[in-house]
Amino acid sequence: MVNKTRLGIPIIFIDEAHHGLVQRQVDVFPHGIGLSSSWDPVLIEKLYTHAAKQARIRGTSLVLAPVLDVVRDPRWGRTGETLGEDPYLSGMLGSAIVRGFQGSTNGAIAPDHVAATLKHFSGHGQSESGSNQAPANYSMRVIREAHLEPFRLVIKNANPAGIMASYNEIDGMPSHANKWLLKDVLRKEWNYGGVVVSDWFGIEQLWNKHFIAADQKAAALKAFNAGVTTDLPYGVNYRHLGTLVKENKISVRSLDSAVAKILELKFKLGLFEQAITIDIEKAKQNAANTEGRQLALKIAEESMVLLKNTPFGNAPGNLLPLKKDQYKKIAVIGPMAAVNYLGDYSGLPGKNISLLEGIKNKAAGAEVLYAKGCRITINGDTISQNNYQYIDTIIFPSKEENAQLIDEAVKIAQQAEIVVLAIGENEQLSREAWAPNHFGDMADLRLQSQQEELVKAIVGTGKPVVVYLTHGRPLAIPGVVQNVAAVVDGWFMGEEAGNAFANILFGETNPSGKLTITYPRSIGQIPVFYNHKPSAQFFNYVMEDKTPLFPFGHGLSYTTFNYSKPRIVMPGAPKKTSLASAGSSGEIYGIVEVDVTNTGSMTGDEIVQLYIHQKVSSVTRPVKELKDFARITLEPAQTKTISFTVDASKLAFWNADMQFGVEDGIFECMVGRSSADLQKAELKVGK
C-alpha cells in the first residue's frame, strides 16, 4: 500500500483485544465482567498497556475495544464482555483501558501503543428480551443517563481514537443511521473528533435487517450522512460514495472531512513516518516473557469474588481459607474443573491453568481426586484451548450420560474430605449471537445440563463443599448458595485462573473482588439492577422477594472491615452550576470522609464505595448511584481515612426540562462496602 499505490498511504490493521489480543501465544486476562470486579483502574491500565504492546509488535495498530455497554438484561450473551451494570464504573474503568491502549489521556498514541475503539454506541446492553442486536427503545432519559454516560466519561477522560456504532435501534432509528446520536450528541455536544467505525456489516443491516434502505447504495448514503466514517469489514457499501458524490447526494467537502479524520488517525499512529514491520523473533520473545502471566495472576486474584463463606456444620470458623495440611484428600469435581474456559473474543495463551492444575500445584502433599461430574456441551468441553465461540452447532449431552457422570462424581466425593465443585457456563452458552445458526443469548439463567442435579448429589454426600463459578453472566442459583458453605465467583478469569483460585483457596491471597452486576434470584426478576427508581421495588412478587440474590458491589474478605459514620466537610457553597462549567471551574460542593479499619487478623484490600441520592428532585431519581470508589489495602488494626470529593459531576442530572445541571436540595451521601450495606450523611446544596 505504501510502495505500490499512487498516493502511498499506509493502512491500519485492526484486531480484537477485549481482554487481551485475539491471537495465538498472547496473554489472556479476565473477561470484562470479571476484570471490572477488581475495581482497580491502576492495574487495568497496566494490563492494556501490555496488550497494546503485544498488538503493535505484530502489526496491529487499532483495536476494537473496550466494550462500554451498560447491561440491564443478563440474558444477553455478550454480558461477559462488558464492565457491568453501572455507567460511572464502566466509564472510569473504560478510561483506564483506553489510557493503557493509547498511552495517553489527550488522544495521542504513544510508541508501542494502539488506537482504542469504544463500543457499542449505544443502548446495546439493554436489548429487548436480552436478544443480541434487538431494539433498545427506551426513554431519552434512560438512554442519556445509563447508556450514553460511560461513553461520555471515557471521551472526556481519555480521548479514544475511535467509536463504534451499535447494531440496535433507538426509537426506530438504527445507530448506523442515527444523526442525533452520531452528530448531535457525539460531534456537536461532546466535541468528539475521532473516527466512527461501523460494527461488522452494520451498514449492510440498514437494508437487509432494519429495512430503512433499499440497497447498499442507499444504506451507504444514510450511514455516511449520519456520521459513520468507516464501513467495516469490507467497505462494500462505501464503494458507492464516489457515485453519490457525482450525483450531488454527498458533497466533496463532507467526504474530505471524513477522509481527513482517517488520515489524522494514521498520522497519530506514526504510520507515515515508520513503515509497519513485523519482527517475528521480537514477537516470540514478547510472548515468552513472564510479565503478562504475572499481570494475569494479579488481576485474577483481585477480581475473584467471595460470594459466601460460612462455617460447615458445627465446625468453628468459616470454611475458607483452607489450611494446606488440613485435608489429606481433596476432590475437585465439575465440568469447569479440568478445562479453563476463557470467554468469547479470547486469544490463545501459551499456558492456560485450570482449577485442577492450580489446586494440585498448591495442595502441599494432599491427594487431589478428580471427576468430571457432568458435561455441559458435547463439542465444547474437552479441549483446553478456547475456540468454542466459533463452533456454530451446540450439542448437549443426554441426561443418561450425565447421570452416569454424576454417579461417578459421588463416588469420588465420598473418598475425599472436602469437595471443590466447579460449575457454570462454557463459551457456547455465553457468547455473541451473530447468525441464525450461532446462538449466544439465554432464556434461562439457571445452571444447564444437569448441573443442579450434580450439586444436589455432591451436597448429599455430607462433605463440605466449596463452589467455584465459571461463567459470563450472573446466574440464578439460590438453591446452590443456600446449600453450600462457600461460593467463589471466577467468571471467565483468564490464563491464570487456576493458580489464582488456589492462592485464594489456601489463604495465600485474601479475596477482594466486588460484583459489578446484580445477581437475580430467578429469571422472573429481570431486569434487576441496583440503581433502580423508587417505585421499582415497592411491592414484592407473590412467591418471591424482589431483593437480589447478591447485590451490586458485594464481595467478602477473609478479614473484616469497620466503617465509621461518613461525615461531610464543606469547603463553601458554590453557585448552582451546569456540569460543563463545573468540569472547568473545579467547584466543589463538599467532601465526604469515612474511616475504614481492618478489624480482622489478615491483611486485606477493601473497595470503599460512594453512592449519592437526591431526596427530592424535579424528576424521579434512582434510589442510589455510584459516584466514586477507592481500593485500599489495610493491615490488621490499621485505619485509613478515605475522602471523596463531591462536585457538580457527581450531583448533576437531566432535570424535568432535559437540562443537565445541579438542582438545589438535600443529597444523601452513602458510603459502605456494597450497594446494600451503606451509612448515610446528608449534604445540603442551595437554600
Query: Which residues are designated catalytic?
Result: 199
Rounded to whole angstroms, the Cα distance separating 36 from 83 reads 5
CB of 605 within 8 A of CB of 657? no
CA atoms within 13 A on the CB side of 266: 18
Handedness of CA 354, 357, 361, 364 (dihedral sign): positive
Conformational region of residue 470, where left means phi above 0, alpha means psi within -120 to 50, and beta covers everything else: beta
Pair type for strands 588-598 and 486-489? unpaired
CB of 487 within 8 A of CB of 519? no
Rounded to whole angstroms, the Cα distance separating 475 from 366 reads 32
> With the CA atoms of 243, 244, 248 and 252 taken in that order, what torsion angle do they form, in degrees rounded to the nearest 10?
-90
Rounded to whole angstroms, the Cα distance separating 326 from 505 reads 12
CB of 648 within 8 A of CB of 627? no
CB of 268 within 8 A of CB of 115? yes
- Cell numbers placing 683: 449534604
- Cell numbers placing 280: 517475528
Terminal CA-CA length for the chain? 65
Q: DSSP label at 189?
A: I
DSSP 104-166: -SSS---TT--EEEEEEETTGGG-GGG-TT------HHHIIIIIIHHHHHHHHHH--SEEEE-
CB of 109 within 8 A of CB of 269? yes
- Cell numbers placing 639: 485505619
Query: Which residue from 14, 98, 28, 95 is spatially nearest to 56, judged by alpha carbons?
Result: 14
Residue position matching grid coordinates 447504495: 217
DSSP 616-669: S-SS---S-EEEEEEEEEE-TT-EEEEEEEEEHHHH-EE-TTS-EE--SEEEEE
42-54 b/e (C-beta count within 10 Å ≥ 16 → b): ebbbbbbbbbbbb
User: Apex CA 161: angle with CA 159 and CA 165, to 5°?
Assistant: 105
Cis before 95 (ω within 30): no
What amino acid occupies position 270? G
